[in-house]
């Protein structure tokens, strides 16, 4: 039995795996709302697929690129576009999956998330519904997080592995904070640009160029949210100038850098 620890955030109870997860590239936590204030989050693109299994009776209300959806559980793509998630009496398990873990665990190509927020039942089917039922019946977070950890480990054991070339290209993009050239990435892995574009898009869910833009945006968004000056962020994150940063933030987050710095929240 794995051991777990509880933390507290304003208005929330948070349960974390004390010893980490069985799988690389997976982060998990349990959340229970205490303040009865409800949840309202702007979902920002990030270099991870976010999976949320709701345990409360009320579904999450999701407004995004595909309109309005009421979903008991969902998965948000690497770059879901501007979206908002609302909920009342929230109790859930949240997972953040690296692209490599997402490729193994989602059960479909990340490309099929179609840059949006999708219902988890569409991806995991009856197996996901049974997991949610077992989680709702479990008496404590220790049992719940253990159930999810085992569920993911079982799926990973049957899953295809990401192509080593695709994984290496993603790792390079992350290590260089998105400041890469697609031609150089193709040369490094020994593939043509066309083959890299196709295989990478199928297994990551984004083109190499879009992935690099996302990683660079993620660093910029974190710096802006921490209070850094937009001009300094543009320079530090490799943008041509401040208007270039402005365009990317508007495209990814649906707001200006100033608005992002003033109130951005990512899922979880």
Do 124 and 192 fall within a single domain? no
Do 128 and 69 fall within a single domain? yes
Question: What number is the average pLDDT over the span 7-33?
Answer: 85
Distance between CA atoms of residues 116 and 34, nearest Å: 29
Q: Which pLDDT does position 9 carry in this prediction?
A: 63
Residue 241 sits in a domain of what CATH number? Answer: 1.10.10.60
Do 188 and 58 fall within a single domain? no
Do 66 and 93 fall within a single domain? yes
Do 101 and 219 fall within a single domain? no
Do 27 and 114 fall within a single domain? yes
Domain count, the chain: 2
Do 148 and 190 fall within a single domain? no
Who has greater pLDDT, 116 or 199?
Answer: 199
Last residue of a domain, one of 119, 135, 157: 157
Last residue of a domain, one of 130, 157, 184: 157
Residue 94 sits in a domain of what CATH number? Answer: 2.60.120.10
Question: What number is the average pLDDT over the span 114-120?
Answer: 85
Distance between CA atoms of residues 177 and 214, nearest Å: 9
- Residue 59 in any domain: the answer is yes
Distance between CA atoms of residues 268 and 266, nearest Å: 6
Tens digit of each residue's pLDDT (9 = 90 or more) over 211-260: 999 999 999 999 999 999 999 999 999 999 999 999 999 988 888 999 88
Tens digit of each residue's pLDDT (9 = 90 or more) over 164-191: 999 999 999 999 999 999 899 999 999 9
Who has greater pLDDT, 93 or 81?
Answer: 93
Q: Which pLDDT does position 267 carry in this prediction?
A: 41
The confidence band for 1, taking pLDDT boundaries of 50, 70 and 90, is very low
Question: What number is the average pLDDT over the span 112-130?
Answer: 88
- Residue 268 in any domain: the answer is no
- Residue 39 in any domain: the answer is yes
Q: Which pLDDT does position 80 carry in this prediction?
A: 75
Tokens for 118, please give them: 């999708």
Do 39 and 130 fall within a single domain? yes
Beta-carbon contacts of residue 253 (< 8 Å; ≥ 6 apart)? 42, 44, 45, 82, 217, 221, 260, 264
Do 101 and 176 fall within a single domain? no
Q: Which pLDDT does position 2 carry in this prediction?
A: 34
- Residue 43 in any domain: the answer is yes
- Residue 143 in any domain: the answer is yes
The confidence band for 65, taking pLDDT boundaries of 50, 70 and 90, is confident
State the CB neighbour count (10 A cutoff) for residue 168.
14
Distance between CA atoms of residues 80 and 41, nearest Å: 13
Do 203 and 126 fall within a single domain? no
Tokens for 201, please give them: 């898009």
Last residue of a domain, one of 125, 157, 189: 157
- Residue 220 in any domain: the answer is yes
Question: What number is the average pLDDT over the span 48-52?
Answer: 94
Tokens for 267, please give them: 């899922």
Determine if the pTM surpasses 0.85. Answer: yes
Distance between CA atoms of residues 115 and 144, nearest Å: 29
DSSP strand pairing (49-54 vs 39-43): unpaired
Do 95 and 14 fall within a single domain? yes
Do 32 and 111 fall within a single domain? yes
Show the domain range for 181: 164-263
Tell me which of 34-43, 133-142, 185-194, 217-226 is least confident. 34-43
């Amino acid at each position: 039995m794995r051991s777990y620890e509880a933390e507290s955030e304003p208005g929330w109870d948070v349960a974390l795996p004390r010893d980490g997860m069985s799988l690389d590239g997976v982060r998990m936590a349990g959340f229970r709302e205490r303040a009865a204030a409800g949840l309202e989050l702007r979902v920002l693109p990030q270099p991870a697929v976010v999976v949320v299994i709701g345990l409360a009776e009320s579904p999450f209300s999701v407004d995004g690129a595909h309109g309005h959806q009421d979903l008991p559980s969902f998965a948000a793509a690497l770059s879901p576009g501007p979206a908002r998630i609302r909920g009342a009496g929230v109790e859930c398990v949240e997972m953040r999956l690296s692209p490599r873990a997402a490729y193994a665990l989602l059960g479909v190509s990340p490309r099929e998330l179609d840059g949006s927020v999708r219902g988890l039942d569409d991806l995991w089917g009856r197996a996901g519904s049974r997991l949610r039922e077992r989680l709702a019946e479990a008496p404590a977070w220790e049992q719940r997080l253990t159930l999810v950890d085992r569920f993911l480990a079982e799926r990973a054991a049957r899953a295809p592995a990401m192509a080593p070339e695709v994984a290496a290209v993603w790792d390079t993009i992350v290590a260089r904070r998105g400041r890469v050239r697609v031609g150089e990435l193709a040369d490094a892995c020994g593939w043509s640009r066309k083959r890299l574009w196709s295989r990478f898009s199928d297994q990551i869910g984004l083109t190499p160029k879009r992935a690099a833009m996302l990683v660079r945006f993620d660093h910029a968004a974190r710096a802006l949210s921490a209070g850094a000056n937009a001009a300094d962020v543009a320079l530090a994150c490799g943008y041509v100038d401040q208007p270039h940063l402005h365009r990317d933030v508007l495209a990814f987050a649906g707001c200006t850098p100033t608005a992002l710095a003033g109130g951005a929240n990512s899922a979880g």
